[in-house]
Amino acid sequence: MKGSFYWLLSAFVCTFILISCRPNNKSVTVPFTLDHNRMLIEAELQGNDGSWHKAKLWVDTGNPKFYMSESLARSLGIDLTNDVVNPDVPTPAGIRIGGMQLNFEGVKSKVMLEPFWLFSTMHNDGNLPSTVLKKYDVVFDYPKKELTLAEPGSIEHTGICVDAAVNSETGIIQIDAVIGGDNLSFALDNGAAYSFISGEVLDRIYNKNSDWPRITGALGCANMWGWWPPQEESAPVVRIPEMMWGPVRIAGAAIVGVPYVAPGGPSLGDWYSQKTARHVDGFLGPNVFKAFRIEIDYSNNAIYFEKGDEFDSHDMDIVGLTLRPIADGSYQVIGIAEKDGKPAVESIEPGDILLQVGDLKTTGETMGTVVDALRGKPGDICTLILKRDEKQFTIQATVERFL
């Protein structure tokens, strides 16, 4: 009898532990890392044979489609024998984070065979698209570096509420803002590395506020891909003294002007507005909101902002090079910023290959790792090793405050 009692007690305790440790299907909170300002999380995807495969997903509120790399698709057993570039494929049978199965019903999936830099830049395997995020209450806690997905209505909201508009099909969310007296609207795109606006809109604002700090050439995280948007090396970047999102005030954020999304193509705002509820002038990226804990209440068209960290207004303290990743894993210089009317870095030319920054060998590293190696305090010296015409050379470059 006594033995039976202890056996029953042990069984009860084990059952209690199993229930306690089981993932809560109504919500999940997982850690994230940032690379080049982009949010990355660990996930598991189910292959055609039922096996589960680990993957790194890029959380992207600005893209309604699920993208996966060729290597991930092959590991899942997806048939890529058809000679099609970026084929549409069935969504994997299961995708989960932190043990919780995500609702991918109705989400369109593609294997992105190109451009190569879509995955090599961050070493990610796929993305977590807006069409999935919109099915949940979402918390981006940048100060704690945690992502929460919860059943709609299950989160008690905190912070300042800002009205938003959600495109019900794409799940892309936008908020209105005031910059320099102009009433504007922006998509919230945490999948971007920085904030971008149509070039003609930025020119209009800057012409009325010509004392605002401005540089030519995207640096740091404003140097988003190196391949897109076009001509990052000559893009205007302006530091905005004050930006208002309803009652939320942002001081000292910078934004990049984009004249067009492709040669002869539409403006950035017109192009992006194809997937938003109303017309937008551009999109806001993590440089303006990573000091916040952000709750997105998709079902009620609202965003809650709670200030955490201090805003980083020195994100342009850097060696003045604009870069792009190339197919062999190395990084090519595409532009040199100017300081006081002359190149900020002497002896470097567009087309040079950046091999090393200090002790960091750049080939095969993520873009965020390489760009962060170029940061420092104004006046710091960075030793750079480059290659031109198969010959290596070394220079000493100075960190400058560009904005």
Residues 172, 122 share a domain: no
Q: Is pLDDT at 298 greater than 50 in this prediction?
A: yes
CB of 374 closer than 8 Å to CB of 360: no
Give 360's strand partners. 357
Question: For position 372, which CATH number holds?
Answer: 2.30.42.10
pLDDT of residue 84: 87
In a domain, 14, yes or no: no
In a domain, 8, yes or no: no
Q: What's the pLDDT score for residue 7?
A: 47
Does 151 score more than 70 pLDDT?
yes
Q: d(Cα 231, Cα 258) in Å, to the nearest integer?
A: 9
Question: What distance in Å separates the CA atoms of residue 357 and residue 205, rounded to the nearest whole number?
Answer: 37
User: Do the domain assignments include residue 293?
Assistant: yes
Q: What is the pLDDT of residues 24-67, one digit of tens each?
A: 468 999 999 999 999 999 999 999 999 999 999 999 999 999 99
Q: How many CB atoms lie within 10 A of CB 246?
A: 16
pLDDT at 189 over 80: yes
**What separation in angstroms does the CA of 225 have from each of 37, 145, 185, 222?**
12, 23, 24, 9
Residue after which a domain boundary falls, among 245, 280, 307 = 307
User: Are residues 171 and 223 part of one domain?
Assistant: yes
In whole angstroms, give the CA distance from residue 218 to residue 263. 18
Residue 224 lies in a domain: yes
Dump pLDDT digits (tens) for 379-392. Answer: 999 999 999 999 99
% residues pLDDT > 90 (the chain): 85
Looking at 257, 276, 307, which one is the last position of a domain? Answer: 307
Picking from 181-185, 276-280, 335-339, which range would have the lowest pLDDT averaged per residue?
335-339
Q: Does the bond joining 115 to the residue before it have cis omega, within 30 degrees of 0?
A: yes
- The residue out of 109, 139, 169 marking a domain boundary is 139
Give the CATH number for residue 254.
2.40.70.10
Q: Are 231 and 325 in contact (CB under 8 A)?
A: no
Residues 215 and 295 in one domain: yes
Range in 23-32, 63-72, 213-222, 369-378 with the lowest mean pLDDT: 23-32
CA distances from 174 to 64, 190, 280, 281, 288 (A): 14, 12, 8, 10, 14
- Length of the chain equals 403
Whose tokens are 């990743």? That residue is 325
Count the Cβ atoms, other than its own, within 10 Å of residue 153: 9
The answer to whether position 60 is within a domain reads yes
234-262 mean pLDDT: 93
* Sole residue written with tokens 């598991």: 44
pTM of the model: 0.90
347-362: per-residue pLDDT in tens?
Answer: 999 999 999 999 999 9
Claim to verify: residue 296 and residue 384 sit in the same structural domain: no
For the cut 60, the answer to whether the pLDDT of residue 22 exceeds it is: no
**Domain shared by 283 and 340, yes or no:** no
Same domain? 183 vs 126: no
pLDDT score of 16: 42
Q: Do residue 223 and residue 189 come from a single domain?
A: yes
Mean of pLDDT over the chain = 92
Q: Read out DSSP for 9-25?
A: HHHHHHHHHHHHHS--T
Q: Is the pLDDT of residue 2 over 60?
A: no
How many domains does the chain divide into?
3
Task: Supply the pLDDT for residue 130.
Answer: 98
For residue 369, give its domain range: 317-401
Amino acid at 271: W
CB 151 within 8 A of CB 137: yes
* pLDDT grade for 82, boundaries at 50, 70 and 90: confident
Within-domain flag for 5 = no
Mean pLDDT along residues 192-197: 97
Are 301 and 276 in contact by the 8 Å Cβ rule? The answer is no
Residues 94, 220, single domain; the answer is: no
Do residue 47 and residue 85 come from a single domain? yes
Query: Alpha-carbon distance 110 to 91, whole Å?
Result: 8
Residues 286 and 360 in one domain: no
Residues 300, 328 within the same domain: no
Extract the tokens encoding 318. Answer: 């850097």
